[in-house]
Amino acid sequence: DEYWEGFFDVISHIMRNAGSPVYFAFYQYCSPSITEAIGRAVKNKCKRIILVPAMFIPGDRMCELEIKERVEFTKILYPEAEIIYAWPYPEEEVANFIINQIERFDK
């Protein structure tokens, strides 16, 4: 479907430009899971893993509690790796991203 294709276009761009190995994961319904992706990264000798969710706006139970709990569990499974949950995003940066999009179309 179009959403799936768009998702992988964004992931592909990130993988090409991030400067570090990138492993994508899903919280639910799809594979690989967060735990599986972190396991792959550890197996490939990644010592520092930064988990960055695609949800940008605070207030989401999944990001605030559920993913955070899953990350804490995964830290127990892989104590040899530093696992960082890079969330929440700075609200001002999220707002500026949206403002830039508005300005892009308001010409």
Percentage of residues in the chain with pLDDT exceeding 70? 100
> How many domains does the structure of the chain reveal?
1
Least confident of 14-23, 50-59, 98-107: 50-59
The model's pTM: 0.87
In this prediction, residue 73 carries a pLDDT of: 96
**39: pLDDT strictly greater than 90:** yes
CA distances for 38 relative to 30, 32, 92, angstroms? 15, 9, 29
Q: Which domain holds residue 47?
A: 2-105
